[in-house]
Chain A
Amino acid sequence: MTSWNPLILTLILFVPTAGAILITLLPRQSNAIRWSALLVSLVTFALSLHLPAHFVYGQQGFQFESDRVWIANPLIHYHVGVDGLSMWLIVLTTFLAPIGVLASWKTIGERKKEFYALFLLQQTAMIGVFIALDLMLYYAFWEMSLVPMALLIGMFGRKNGRAAAIKFFVYTFVPSALLLVAMIWLYAHTGTFDFVVLRQMRLGGALNFSATAGMFLSLAFLLAFAVKVPIFPLHGWLADALSEAPTAMAMVLAGKLGLYSILRFSFGLFPDESRRVAPILIALGVIGILYGALLAWVQTDLKRLASYSTLSHLGFCVLGIFSFTIASTDGGVYQILNHGISAGALFVLLGILYERFGTYEISDYGGLAARLPFFSAMMVGTALSLIGLPALNGFVGEFLVLSGSFGVHTYWTAAATLGVILSAVYMLSMLQRVLYGEPSTRVLALGNGTPNGDLTLREQTAMWPLLILIVLMGVLSPYWMRAINALYGSQPAQVQAVNHTMKAGE
């Protein structure tokens, strides 16, 4: 099977594109559209499992590499490869795809063809971002990921999809322009876009520029990524886009693309500069945690609540990765994965609610637990994972982040700990208002013309893998940490061991 290694990433990358092309050729009303979308995303997921199965732990550098010249002048390579960081992000992406298809099964009635074709294109773009090791290739996928996302938000949004889509696009596109300037500047000074080469030059001291230029470059990189995460105060697009986005898009919209890019490119190419701005980012991350949590507390709309809780949770990732200790980085990266799964589960559950009741208003609900016991149990599990209950995945990430950063940024970490409490406050009060108490009229009317009962087989199929992972990642974290730890081998300058950190996951 090893002969597959150089090819596998390309396959994972383009199978969704092929699927998208196939879907555009299918007849408009055909049922085959969603089945083929499901099939394609399952195949992609199966292919991506090749990565953890054949990943060589402890080996430095990138694996499954493939490097060809794409354009001779300027020299742009089709250079792809993964390390411990991107491997799990790819698997996470491909894992969420079939769940996204299942979650959209019923809600997308009209214009299925557009939806699933764009959905699969979006897959390609996201996977491309994670595997590209050439800055231009990376940028191409980075920008490409915007288009299907914006179109999907706009076409399948709730009320203000169009405005949210344009806001999302412009918010991300404008800083990307600066990113492009920085990338071309690097190329103009080095003659290469290759990340691996550039990093070696940078670490080996072969790539030197003035302190000012370095700062401007690193800020251009960081700004583009920070908007995509988003990091407070650049989160203006988040609540609108997330609350408008169809479930399948809300699951993947925030977090991992931006955070991954910070870890890979900002830290990889500008280690010193990143360290210099770290205190500011720590502060912004913690403000984001608290601000997001407080805003989530006062929301009356379930999806907006989930959006602000996303902002809050991503703050932990920011705190973790910018503390530059082994434990906190482990925790930050782990938290990216956790967030993908737990927030994904939350959005699927909210979508299920919306399918039945057609509303996200918290006040329209109440007493669901009696009518939808399965659903409610899953909702509670997901919420507990987001709160960070021990033995569930969220705890591992948050604990590592907080313990790792406590030694370096004591006060900010102490403030961030408040965020954990706040997240329990808003999540539990949401659960209380939605699941318990007196059943509302809508809940009582359940079954009159709406899908009546508890979770259907399709919904269960979508939810169980997520819940199982929530538990597994809580109790078996070393399995994932192994690969994440390999990061330090490949990026030694990023994380300096701070004396009193614990070795994560061991």
Chain B
Amino acid sequence: MNIIGPDALVFGVDDLVACRQYLIDYGLHDAGNGRFEALDGTAVVIRQADDPALPPGLGTASLLRETVYGVADTDTLDAIEAELKRDREVTRRDGVVRCADDMGFALAFQVSVRRPLLLPGERVNAPGAEPQREPNALGLWPDMPARPRSLSHVVYFVPDAAKAEAFYARLGFVCTDRFTGVGPFLRPAGTMDHHTLFMIQTPPFMKGCEHFTFHMGGPTEVLLAGTRFVEKGYQSFWGPGRHKFGSNWFWYFNSPLGCHVEYDADMDLHDDSWAPRDAPMGADASQLFLFQYREKWAPSGPPPAGPSR
């Protein structure tokens, strides 16, 4: 089934004002009506937690209320509807198919709203390779934009990772890599991105969203956007660094949305010839390297006085 990836994540929040400012400062565009968009139109949507139009909550601290998947065409919607109707309640209205997965996460499927992007990725010059930036083209400048481009993936805490994975396999998601006893990285058929969904096995009272992230234009944009976010007073949680599975650069922040919010870039692409790896979860398996923000500093000051005469 030609599912491309998440089009939107819908949250029912405690503090709309705080969440709105957070998402704008993170770099999303306020498109109105609680919708905050990346450059390609993928989005985070925020509503007051008690909004009756929202699907029910998960009964935990998680504020995620719906994951909206973008699919290629109406044939795919038909196929998803037919498959899911075999064993659960499914609705279809105004072009949106809705149901809940086997863990109780509310899902929606629609023909994707993603707008095609035509933007260069980060361009790098290296000895031995053709220059990627022409002469006099700068790699970095003070007000260089660093805007989230596209909603990349969401990570769930789930009480039964094997059962949860089996549900998504019915929709054509394949495992690209796995943390043993923890959960799978899943890639739907409509993208080559290493994962659009990762699941972590936890006790039932933790069920919910661990984090979500938008793809940036490259590692420099991750570092630049993250630095600007810290300088506005936001709280770094983990990073910057580079993950092992997926090779994506990362930087995670705390948020008022009840989950971490990440900047990521340069994820591996895979096709059906890829054989998934399996590794125990741990610091070495999670990242190749990890750094931490520090205030800007430069070796400077007056020259040493020298020996006294």
A and B from one complex: no
